[in-house]
Structure 1
Amino acid sequence: MLNEYKRKLPPSERKVAEYIIKKPHHAIQLTATSLGEESGTSSAAVIRLCKSLGLKGFQELKLRVSGDLMKSPAVQYSNIEPGETQEAIVEKLTNNATQALKETSELVNYEALGMAVKALKKADRIHFFGVGASGIIAQDAQQKFLRMNKSVSCFTDIHNAAMYIANVSENDVVFVISFSGETLETLKIIELANQKGAATISLTRYGQSAISDSADIPLFISATREVPAPFRSGATSSRLAQLHMIDILFVCVVTDQYALASDYLKEIKESMDFIKSRK
């Protein structure tokens, strides 16, 4: 979190973040006042940093840093190099995927998650949008939420999406997906949805971005390390993390209205059985 956010922080907060990254073992032993003094800032800068990270306070920040220090140093992302053996590729990709899912779960803001679940539950219509690889995630999300007897759409083309969103209302949810958080087409769609008064949810990499800043409810996945093509193992990990968050949202919505969801899922199963029947 600190590494991802530090370049976007104001100077005083950045100094605190860099101090914690450089001396984490020492930083967790300090008070906010002491950390402010040793980093050349103030206790106010420390508290502002916690707020910028979406944390409840300095104590939560120290707990998170302590948790990271207890992790095995062997658990880290590995890039795929030219000429890798198949065994190495399997090991590295599996490790990267596992790490992306673990980091994403650690970054969950449960207040934002609860707000997203509530918005999706009460929505008359849900519109998913993403381009490129994020469009595939949007299609997966549509396929899942169709099971809740909702009016659900998915668009990967900005023109078709704009025509549809032209008629959204405050009872609709527009859910946009962009790993970078800066995709121009996706930013335009969420800005249009905001103008029309729909509830907006974003799913981006962790950290501030134009898209997450524009959303009513920003959700995040791990900021996995991207490497240059063609060996972008990070891109694979980020896709899995996005799918993981969609799964979390869907299961939360289902379990929050289990009896109703069970009826819908039963009807769907019967329909699928009918389609498969040779009679």
Structure 2
Amino acid sequence: MESKLLQKLKYASQLTAQEKHIVKYILSNPEVVFDSTAHELAQQTYTSSSTIVRLCKKLGTKGYPDFQLKLALEYQQIPSALQTQDHAIAEQGNVLAAIDSVPYLYQQALDDTRRMLNAPVLLRIASWVKESVRIDVYGSDMNYYLAQQACAKWNELGISAIAHNSPNMHYLNTMNPNSLTLSFVISHTGENQSMIEAAKVLSNKQMKVIAVTGNNHSTLSRHCDETLLAYGYNEQLRLSKMSSMVSVLYIFDMLYMSSISDTY
């Protein structure tokens, strides 16, 4: 599935100062795109038409008209509760708005996670799960509870799985490299120092380690054998925490489903 333009706008990187200003302007009121030509939008943002077109191409569209069309098609599918900056209506405690907005957020997270999946990597990790004698899942704060859920499901299948909310250095340093233990380390940014330290120790022991993170180029990923990309977490968007959780659970549930087929 094609990456959603609104998500590309929110998480776009390597933009110039002018392009960032345009993005901020559009996100504050996406409908301005539908009523403005490239020249008019340039005037409103104190930039140039060529800058507008260049930004559109950076976002994967052919130009401004193509950007307008794709944004319009996407925008009309978004529940009205989410058509304001930072999902303001949904965040103000409007439970009726949440009826539509929550499923949309879930589906958006699932679609983006599925799009980022690397099938050969997923198959390789599923094979490692089958070969392992024990599974360790590391995660701090909110990620620890996701680790617990993943481990609880594997334990129901008779697969030994333990969740860790911080690296136990005594346990890590005394692990037998031949113990066939498979480790997952969860960090949305990939820069959590305690999770990086756990991955370093495990990697130095030649243990198989998988990063579950929203950043494929993070420090954590560099110390792991493989990376499973989850929906990126943005601290400025409070509801992105919910989407990140759904994304991580989706990743572990796929591996759980693979385990079920071998157990029954």
- The TM-score, its normalising length taken from structure 2, stands at 0.68
Spell out, residue by residue over 1:51-101, the C-alpha distance to the aligned partner (whole angstroms, 9 max, x if none): xxxxxxxxxxxxxx9xx8896234566524464522123322221122111
| Amino acid in the other structure paired with 1:236 | M
The match for 1:73 among 50, 72, 75 is 75
For CA contacts below 8 A with separation 6 or more, give which structure has more relative contact order.
1
Q: Which residue of 1 aligns with 2:31?
A: none
Residue pair 1:190, 1:211 contacting (<8 A) in 2 also: yes
**After alignment, is 216-225 or 80-89 more displaced?**
80-89
Residue pair 2:139, 2:185 contacting (<8 A) in 1 also: yes
Task: Summarize the Cα distance change of 1:110–1:69 in structure 2 as closer, same or farther, 3 Å threshold.
Answer: farther
For the pair 1:140 / 2:149, whether they are aligned, the reply is yes
The match for 2:106 among 78, 97, 110 is 97
3-state SS of paired residue (2:188): coil
- State the shift of 1:25 in Å: 2.5
For the pair 1:211 / 2:220, whether they are aligned, the reply is yes
Q: Which residue of 2 aligns with 1:34?
A: none
How far apart are the structure 2 equivalents of 1:75 and 1:7? Answer: 28
Q: Which residue of 2 aligns with 1:24?
A: 61
3-state SS of paired residue (2:252): helix
The match for 1:154 among 163, 167, 187 is 163
Q: Which residue of 1 aligns with 2:255?
A: 249
- State the shift of 1:114 in Å: 0.8
Q: Which residue of 1 aligns with 2:171?
A: 164
Task: Summarize the Cα distance change of 1:238–1:20 in structure 2 as closer, same or farther, 3 Å threshold.
Answer: same
How far apart are the structure 1 equivalents of 2:77 and 2:224? Answer: 33
- State the shift of 1:248 in Å: 0.7
Task: Summarize the Cα distance change of 1:71–1:200 in structure 2 as closer, same or farther, 3 Å threshold.
Answer: farther
For the pair 1:176 / 2:185, whether they are aligned, the reply is yes
Task: Summarize the Cα distance change of 1:174–1:84 in structure 2 as closer, same or farther, 3 Å threshold.
Answer: closer
- State the shift of 1:173 in Å: 1.0
| Amino acid in the other structure paired with 2:171 | Y
3-state SS of paired residue (2:249): helix
What's the RMSD between the two structures over aligned residues?
3.0
How far apart are the structure 1 equivalents of 2:224 and 2:71? Answer: 33
Residue pair 2:190, 2:213 contacting (<8 A) in 1 also: yes
For the pair 1:130 / 2:139, whether they are aligned, the reply is yes
Q: Which residue of 1 aligns with 2:194?
A: 185
Residue pair 1:202, 1:218 contacting (<8 A) in 2 also: yes
- State the shift of 1:107 in Å: 1.1
| Amino acid in the other structure paired with 2:172 | I
Q: Which residue of 1 aligns with 2:236?
A: 227
Task: Summarize the Cα distance change of 1:209–1:85 in structure 2 as closer, same or farther, 3 Å threshold.
Answer: same
- The TM-score, its normalising length taken from structure 1, stands at 0.65
Residue pair 1:206, 1:220 contacting (<8 A) in 2 also: yes
Q: Which residue of 2 aligns with 1:59?
A: none
3-state SS of paired residue (1:176): strand
Spell out, residue by residue over 1:215-236, the C-alpha distance to the aligned partner (whole angstroms, 9 max, x if none): 10100112255435xxx21101
Q: Which residue of 1 aligns with 2:50?
A: none
Residue pair 2:56, 2:63 contacting (<8 A) in 1 also: no
Residue pair 1:146, 1:152 contacting (<8 A) in 2 also: yes
How far apart are the structure 1 equivalents of 2:60 and 2:243? Answer: 29
How far apart are the structure 2 equivalents of 1:208 and 1:134? Answer: 20
Residue pair 1:130, 1:156 contacting (<8 A) in 2 also: yes
